[in-house]
């Protein structure tokens, strides 16, 4: 049993596909497999056009496992792979390598050279090679179809509520904590400067309420417990009060302190609190940061 797609975000539409595949696999008594691609196909088709990435491969694998997937298969998307005809794609990959009994795909799924293969093509090839095909209509609400493109637009606009509705959870940015300028500590709000991976989907500049989680690689020194999430006020932007130029993601953990440098962490964005502003004085900035912390606590406490 196989479901195929990029699955960036593993959003509610993806979850529906995966659920169908998992249930069908259980009924047939076979493993449920998910196949995704790396790098993103757009980066190979049109180099330099890689869309913002909603989830890392590791995160996708974790979410797929939570949904009941037995096998998480990553297919390298190369120039040669891109040139496979739909028939070769199905025969060489799905039949010869994976021995599929059924393929579950979205009704907008395309595959093979120049995206010539469609759900109808897959059904024709399924009849030839002896497997079934389930083409699933993508889900949505309020006349909006849930898709990775839609969620990227929500994140880019800072609309974390809409992104979370489509994802089924808050949007997450992962990264390693690196040394920053140290200004937060000087102002009484020590922050973790999170360096995300290339192409990560970063929300619009502003201040957000969210959750902070230490993922690893080892124990921290302080009150932040690895694996447990903590309330956080998160700043995204260039620090205009200090005429900054580099765009950063900085998280202030509300009720904890730890030595986090070098740690792999996750920041889950829950709600946009305010836009990024340039303050006339440090006192005004500190006062605003105090309000941000209070507002983040209210949002997350609710």
Residues known to be catalytic: 250
Cα–Cα distance between 60 and 229 in angstroms, integer? 19
* CA gap 199, 221 in Å, rounded: 30
Rounded distance, CA 274 to CA 127, Å? 55
Strands 258-259 and 221-222: antiparallel
* 43 contacts 50 by C-beta, under 8 angstroms: yes
Helices (H), the chain: 12-28, 41-45, 57-66, 79-82, 86-88, 119-129, 148-157, 160-167, 183-186, 282-301
Distances (CA, A) of 7 to 64, 75, 108, 270: 9, 13, 13, 22
Q: Which residues, other chains included, contact 241 with Cβ-Cβ below 8 Å and sequence gap of 6+?
A: 277, 278, 279, 282, 285
- The DSSP H or E segment spanning 266 is strand 264-274
- Indicate the DSSP class of residue 90: I
Q: How far apart are CA 21 and CA 68, in angstroms?
A: 9
């Amino acid at each position: 049993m196989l479901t195929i797609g990029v699955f960036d975000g593993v959003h509610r539409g993806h979850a529906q596909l995966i659920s169908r595949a998992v249930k069908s696999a259980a009924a047939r008594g076979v493993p449920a497999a998910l196949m995704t691609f790396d790098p993103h196909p757009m980066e190979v088709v049109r180099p330099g056009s890689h869309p913002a990435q909603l989830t890392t491969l590791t995160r996708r694998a974790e979410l797929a496992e939570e949904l009941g997937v037995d096998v998480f298969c990553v297919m390298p998307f190369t120039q040669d792979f891109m040139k496979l005809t739909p028939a070769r794609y199905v025969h060489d990959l799905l039949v010869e390598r994976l021995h599929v009994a059924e393929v579950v795909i979205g009704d907008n799924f395309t595959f093979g050279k120049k995206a010539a293969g469609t759900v109808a093509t897959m059904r024709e090839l399924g009849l030839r090679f002896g497997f079934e095909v389930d083409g699933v209509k993508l889900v949505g609400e309020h006349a909006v179809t849930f898709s990775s493109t839609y969620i990227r637009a929500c994140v880019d606009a800072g609309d974390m509520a809409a992104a979370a509705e489509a994802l089924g959870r808050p949007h997450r940015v992962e990264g390693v904590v690196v040394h920053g300028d140290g200004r937060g500590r000087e102002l009484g709000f020590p922050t973790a400067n999170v360096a995300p991976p290339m192409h990560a989907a970063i929300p619009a500049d502003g201040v957000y309420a969210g959750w902070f989680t230490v993922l690893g690689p080892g124990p921290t020194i302080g009150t932040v417990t690895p694996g447990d999430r903590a309330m956080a006020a998160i700043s995204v932007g260039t620090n205009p009060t200090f005429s900054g130029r580099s765009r950063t993601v900085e998280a202030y953990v509300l009720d904890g302190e730890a030595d986090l440098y070098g740690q792999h962490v996750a920041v889950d964005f829950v709600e946009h609190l305010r836009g990024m502003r340039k303050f006339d004085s440090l006192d005004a900035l500190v006062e605003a940061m105090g309000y941000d912390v209070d507002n983040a606590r209210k949002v997350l406490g609710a």
